[in-house]
Amino acid sequence: MNLEDQILSNPIKNYLIIAGILLTLFITKRWVARFLASLIYTWVDRKNHSELRKTHVHRLVVPIEQFLIFIVAIIALYELKYPVSWNIHLYKISMQVAIESTIKLIFIILFIRVCLRTLEFIAIIMEQKAKLSKDLNDDQLILFFRDFFKVILYIIGLLMILHYVFNENIGNLVTSLSIVGAAIALSMKESLENIIASFIIFFDKPFSVGDMVKVNNFSGTIEKIGLRSTRIRTETKTYISVPNKQMVDSIVDNISLRTERKIEMDLQLSIKTTASSMAAYCQYLKTTIEGMENIQSSSVFVSESGKQFHTIHVECLVPIHIEMAEFQLLREQLNLAAVKFANEHNILFSENG
C-alpha cells in the first residue's frame, strides 16, 4: 500500500497523521484536562488546599476534555481537502457551508459550556472560602453574581451563534435589538426595577441572609436574595417572596440589628381606682421587674388619667440575644404578676379600653 494513494482527494499519509494526533489526544486528554483544571483552581485559591482540590477539580475535567477533543479534531481535519464529489447543494446551501456552520455551532456550544462550568467551579471554591468567615453577605453575593454572569454568558453564546453560524451582522442586530429592547423594557419595567433594586441591596446592605426582618406586616428570616425577589421564612414557617423594589422602597425593620427587645404593656384601670392604689401598683411592678433576670432597664408610670380609665404604662428592655422562648416567658411572668396584684388588692380593670 502506497501512502501517497488518494482516498476522497486526500493521501493515506494524511489520514494516518490525523489518526496519530487523535490517538495521542485520547491518551493524554485526561492528564491535560486535569492540568488545566488545576491551573484554574490555583488561580482561584492561591492557598491551594489539597482537599478542596480533590473535591472540586473533577467538575472541570469532563467539559475541558470534550472541548480539547473537538478543537484538536477540527484543527487536524482542517488539513484534509474537501472532496469535490461532495459539493452538493440543498436549498441553495452547499454541503461544505452546512458542515462548517455545524462545526462552528458545536464549537460555540462547547466553549460556552466550558465557560459556564468554569464559572460554577469558581463560584463553588469562592463559596467554600466565604463559609470560613462569619459574614453571610459574602455567600449570597457569590451566588448572586454567579447567576448574573450565567445570564451574560448565555447572551454572548446566542450572539456568537447568530454571527458565526447564521452570518448575521451583530452591529445591525444590536441596533434592532435596542429598539425592541426599549419596548420590552417598558413592558418589563417592574422586573427591571427589581433587578436594579437587587444591586442596591447587595451594595447598600440594609440586611443580609440570616437576618430577621419585618416588612409589610410580615416578620421572618431572610433565606435568599435573588435577582428579582427576596425570600423570607416567616415566624409561622410560611415562605414568602417580596419583590426587591418593595424591600428597597418600604420601611424594613432589621430585627437582628436591634441591641434590645422591648416588653411593653398598658394596664387600663377602672376610673374608680384611687391614686394611692395606683402608686402602690406602680411600686409593686417596679419591685417585681427588679427581681427578674435579663431585664436591663425598665420604666413604670401612670401615663394617662381620664374619664373612662387610668393607664399604667410598663416598658422593659431585654438583650437581643435572649431566646424567643425565654423572652415570652418574661412577658408571661410580668403579666401574671400584674393580674395577681390586681386580684389581691381588688383593683378592677376598665371595661372601656
pLDDT digits (tens, 9 = 90+) for 264-282: 999 999 998 999 999 999 9
Q: Residue 339: its pLDDT value, please?
A: 93
Lookup: cell for 120: 460554577
Lookup: cell for 174: 444590536
Q: Which of 80-94, 185-199, 227-241, 302-316 has the lowest mean pLDDT?
A: 80-94
Cα 128 to Cα 42, 131, 159, 281: the distances in Å are 14, 5, 33, 57
Distance (Å, whole) CA 54 – CA 128: 14
Q: Which of 75-84, 98-107, 112-121, 297-306 has the lowest mean pLDDT?
A: 75-84
pLDDT digit string (tens) for 154-167?
888 888 888 888 87
Closest to 224 in 3D by CA, of 321, 121, 147, 117: 147
Q: Environment class of residue 215 by beta-carbon count within 10 Å: exposed (0-12), middle (13-18) or buried (19+)?
A: buried
Q: Tell me the percentage of the chain whose pLDDT exceeds 90.
A: 20
Distance (Å, whole) CA 229 – CA 244: 5
Lookup: cell for 201: 441591596
- Judge contact between 25 and 69, C-beta under 8 A: yes
- Count the Cβ atoms, other than its own, within 10 Å of residue 281: 22
β partners of residue 224? 231
User: Over the chain, what is the mean pLDDT?
Assistant: 80
Distance (Å, whole) CA 243 – CA 254: 17
Distance (Å, whole) CA 248 – CA 168: 41
Q: Report residue 83's pLDDT band, with 50, 70 and 90 as the boundaries.
A: low
- pLDDT at residue 201 greater than cutoff 80: yes
- pLDDT at residue 27 greater than cutoff 70: yes
Helices (H), the chain: 12-44, 50-56, 58-77, 95-130, 136-160, 170-187, 189-204, 244-249, 275-290, 324-344
- pLDDT at residue 187 greater than cutoff 90: no
Model pTM above 0.75: no
Amino acid identity for residue 189 in this structure:
K
Closest to 278 in 3D by CA, of 312, 254, 231: 312
Mean pLDDT of 76-90: 65
- Count the Cβ atoms, other than its own, within 10 Å of residue 218: 14
Q: Which of 79-83, 96-100, 105-109, 230-234 has the lowest mean pLDDT?
A: 79-83
User: What's the Rg (C-alpha) of the chain?
Assistant: 35
- pLDDT at residue 45 greater than cutoff 70: no
Cα 64 to Cα 23, 37, 68: the distances in Å are 17, 8, 6
- Judge contact between 231 and 240, C-beta under 8 A: yes
- pLDDT at residue 343 greater than cutoff 90: yes
- DSSP character at residue 217: T
Closest to 253 in 3D by CA, of 223, 297, 218: 218
Q: Report residue 336's pLDDT band, with 50, 70 and 90 as the boundaries.
A: very high
